[in-house]
Amino acid sequence: MAETVRIPVSGGEMAAYVARPAATRAPAIVVLQEIFGVNAVMRDITDGLAAQGFLAICPDLFWRIEPGVDITDRTEAEWKKAFALMNAFDASQGVKDIAATLDHIRADPGCNGRAGAVGFCLGGQLAWLTATRTDADAAVSYYGVGIEGLIGESRTLRKPVMLHIAEADGFVPPAAQAAIREGLADQPLAIIHTYPGRDHAFARLGGEHYHAADAALAGQRTLDFLRLNLGAA
């Protein structure tokens, strides 16, 4: 069952897409969007997590710039708009909105009190910041952009985080990947999986770089990690 809720945040209210599992009470997952907004891809991921037994919620993190962004990766105009939105986005404020989302979903009668996050692309960076700046119980980052410049935040990491890195990621070059691996080498709470030959967004169904086998592998690793750290779903 899916619905739209509104979350009180500083400066107003933020819409969020919620998908509920069959179970009466379940661990929650905050789904953190790519640069295309809360589009069909993000809603499908949210629905998929609910089908796996999680209470899933995808907040409209671009709401302070333009509420209700729902675009695709199919046209040059949409890519141009997506990059403009990303460049205008305040990640620190976004993390505060994510923290509000965690509070909101934990207070939901359908939540068992534990909550994590899964993010993709821009959301992958936000998943890292969620792990280091909020009280999320676990976080998963898919091909997060810009994490190499935020590795110093690992000193505040208190809960486990998993990073999926695409070896041939055009937005996360080899030097950035090396910086991430080196910076987290002594951090036991950080788990890194690298996918040889894969490019950015290899898990985006229907995307140019989608790779079914590695998307399934990353998906299973994510589910196992979340179930381990949030409890059975």
Three-class SS of 22-46: CCCCEEEEEEECCCCECCHHHHHHH
Q: Which position among 104, 164, 200, 211 bears the catalytic label?
A: 200
Q: Which position among 97, 169, 199, 214 bears the catalytic label?
A: 169
Tally the C-alpha atoms within 13 A of residue 141's C-alpha that lie toward its C-beta. Answer: 30
What is the bridge-based pairing of β-strands 55-59 and 26-32? parallel
| 169 catalytic per annotation | yes
Sequence-separated contacts (24+) of 175-181 with Cβ below 8 Å: 175/148, 176/147, 176/148, 177/148, 179/148, 179/151, 180/147, 180/148, 180/151
| 200 catalytic per annotation | yes
Which residue in the block uniquely carries the two structure tokens 């671009």? 62
Q: Cα separation of 213 and 57, whole Å?
A: 26
Contact 37, 60 (CB under 8 A): yes
| Structure tokens, 224 | 């196992």
Q: Cα separation of 40 and 109, whole Å?
A: 26
Using alpha carbons only, what angle is made at residue 50 by residues 64 and 188, rounded to the nearest 5 degrees? Answer: 80
- CA 224 from centre of chain: 16
Q: Residues with catalytic annotation?
A: 169, 200
